[in-house]
Amino acid sequence: MNPLVLSDADYKTAFERISQLALEYVASVSERPTFPKITGTETEALFAKPLPEQGLGSGALDDLGEVMASVRVTGPRFFGYVLGSGEPIGAAADLLVSVLNQNVTAWRSSPSAVTIERVVVNWLAEAIGCTGFTGSLTGGGSSANLMGLAMAREARLPANECGARPGTIYASEQIHMSIPKAIALLGIGRENLRLIPCDDNFRIRVDFLRASMERDVRAGLTPIAIVGSAGTVSTGSIDPLVELAEIARESGAWFHVDGAYGALAAIAEPAKFAGLDRADSLSLDPHKWLYQPLDCGCLLYRDAEAARRAFSHTGDYAKSLVNDPVEGFAFFEESMELSRRFRALKLWLSLRYHGLANFREAIRNDLAHAQLLAGLITKQPELALLAPVPLSAVCFRYRARGDADSDCDALNQEILQRVVRRGKVFLSNATIHGRFALRACIVNHRTTPDDIAQVVSEVLAVGRECLA
Ligand SMILES: Cc1ncc(COP(=O)(O)O)c(C=O)c1O
């Protein structure tokens, strides 16, 4: 018998212990500190151990408690970055995903997984008002943005057959770092990314965009794509998507929307996202605003042929021998990935378990919580709201001695570090008009109004402590 094969009893012990730990974690997630009381040296001492030559057996499971005690907890007072709260029904599905170990390459490799992923992608498109779009699940928004821009390049300045030629890409100066990264990876060249200034609401200035494109065309350059944001990472601002779509149509540029943070909020507030359905490609992240466990991103597009132009390089070894459109379908013809995890199962189970109406309500709660927080900040003379709150990201700062414009970047940096270490709430930061801001981003189905109030009380307590 292969030594890696265990008895049914041994598997049962391992699965039961892990399920028990998962249940304990879910039951206690609201009480756990948002950041563990542990230092870098202590984590090294706990986990940086030699690889054992001989197995520890079920003793290996004993250390899982330490792992859990040393995680940064995504409980109801976690408001950092843009990170969904991890819906446990989706998490339970993920265990089954690993056990089933499906490789979601093509229908022939996994009939149910491929079909479910195609169904779930259609559901997501419909839910945000983009019926008829198709696409695939990705590791996250960064890969979805990379794939969207690879499609744009193949559509406008094909490089796969002819080699790369210079072209330009336009986005606002608030764009997420995954866009310059994608442009660099695609060999388009960071120097060909035009970062267009924004208005006071952090939305791209379309007059500057037009002027920039005209200048480039006069210089003989080809505009490849306009990238709009449906929720910028710092403030949640939504670019004027209808106008961007129109400029893209007039100029022949591809229109990609980075909706990794915000697009799923169209489920609750479709009017804010007018023009989303005019994108050629659109990224969104169920592991952000559909609360799914990592990883679960998605790229939607209106023309599957454009995806095939970018990603189909099938050699004989993977070529489908059937003509049936369902049985002959292969994700690797439309994606940069070949081996792919069954990401759709958690989404399929979680969406069917709760229903779209409950997700819509959860997103509305997040939007309302963000307004609540903005209101509490505005009422506090020691705090200053630094940006409008169109979605669920709230940027603010503690102001020393009541002076909003005094230079208190260093003070707020100190406050952020102390707040995080205290473990009651978790915030991250942003730069707003060159100033250091505390930032709370609420994409969290566990959060209550009390949790929101704790953001204010913690920042006030720590701010006063720093000044004392
Ligand atoms: C606007 C925006 N785009 C893209 C991304 C990247 O998404 P991911 O972290 O899933 O790669 C993020 C992440 O926060 C984001 O906020």
**In CATH, what number is assigned to the domain containing residue 317?**
3.40.640.10
Q: Let me know whether 308 and 164 are in one domain.
A: yes
What gap in Å lies between CA 97 and CA 400, rounded to an integer? Answer: 51
Burial status of residue 448 (CB atoms within 10 A of its CB: 0-12, 13-18, 19 or more): middle
What gap in Å lies between CA 288 and CA 267, rounded to an integer? Answer: 14
Task: Decide whether any atom of ligand 1 lies within 6 Å of the 233 Cβ.
Answer: yes
Domain boundary among 306, 328, 354: 354
Domain boundary among 305, 338, 354: 354
**143 alpha carbon – ligand 1 mean position (Å):** 9
Q: Let me know whether 271 and 350 are in one domain.
A: yes
Tens of each residue's pLDDT in the chain, 468 residues: 899 999 999 999 999 999 999 999 999 999 999 999 999 999 999 999 999 999 999 999 999 999 999 999 999 999 999 999 999 999 999 999 999 999 999 999 999 999 999 999 999 999 999 999 999 999 999 999 999 999 999 999 988 777 777 799 999 999 999 999 999 999 999 999 999 999 999 999 999 999 999 999 999 999 999 999 999 999 999 999 999 999 999 999 999 999 999 999 999 999 999 999 999 999 999 999 999 999 999 999 999 999 999 999 876 666 677 889 899 999 999 999 999 999 999 999 999 999 999 999 999 999 999 999 999 999 999 999 999 999 999 999 999 775 655 679 999 999 999 999 999 999 999 999 999 999 999 999 999 999 999 999 999 999 999 998
Q: Let me know whether 385 and 342 are in one domain.
A: no
**22 alpha carbon – ligand 1 mean position (Å):** 27
What gap in Å lies between CA 420 and CA 34, rounded to an integer? Answer: 8
- Ligand 1 pocket test target in 285, 289, 343 with most atoms within 8 Å of CB: 285
Q: Let me know whether 187 and 305 are in one domain.
A: yes
**Structural domain range at position 136:** 102-354
**104 alpha carbon – ligand 1 mean position (Å):** 23
Task: Decide whether any atom of ligand 1 lies within 6 Å of the 142 Cβ.
Answer: yes
Q: Let me know whether 139 and 175 are in one domain.
A: yes
Q: Let me know whether 350 and 369 are in one domain.
A: no
What gap in Å lies between CA 258 and CA 172, rounded to an integer? Answer: 11
Task: Decide whether any atom of ligand 1 lies within 6 Å of the 237 Cβ.
Answer: no
Q: Let me know whether 177 and 318 are in one domain.
A: yes
Q: Let me know whether 328 and 411 are in one domain.
A: no
Answer whether residue 34 is part of any domain.
no
Task: Decide whether any atom of ligand 1 lies within 6 Å of the 261 Cβ.
Answer: yes
**137 alpha carbon – ligand 1 mean position (Å):** 14
Answer whether residue 245 is part of any domain.
yes
pLDDT tens, residue by residue, 171-187: 999 999 999 999 999 99
Answer whether residue 381 is part of any domain.
yes
pLDDT tens, residue by residue, 445-456: 999 999 999 999
Q: What is the pTM of this model?
A: 0.96
Count of structural domains, the chain: 2
- Ligand 1 pocket test target in 81, 82, 343, 443 with most atoms within 8 Å of CB: 82
**258 alpha carbon – ligand 1 mean position (Å):** 8
pLDDT tens, residue by residue, 272-290: 999 999 999 999 999 999 9
Q: Let me know whether 140 and 192 are in one domain.
A: yes
**260 alpha carbon – ligand 1 mean position (Å):** 5
Answer whether residue 272 is part of any domain.
yes
Task: Decide whether any atom of ligand 1 lies within 6 Å of the 260 Cβ.
Answer: yes
Q: Let me know whether 313 and 404 are in one domain.
A: no
Answer whether residue 413 is part of any domain.
yes
**199 alpha carbon – ligand 1 mean position (Å):** 22
Q: Let me know whether 149 and 232 are in one domain.
A: yes
Task: Decide whether any atom of ligand 1 lies within 6 Å of the 141 Cβ.
Answer: yes
Answer whether residue 14 is part of any domain.
no
* CATH number of the domain residue 434 falls in: 3.90.1150.170
Q: Let me know whether 428 and 330 are in one domain.
A: no
Task: Decide whether any atom of ligand 1 lies within 6 Å of the 286 Cβ.
Answer: no
Which ligand 1 atom minimizes the distance to the CA of 83? 14
Answer whether residue 256 is part of any domain.
yes
Domain boundary among 354, 371, 388: 354
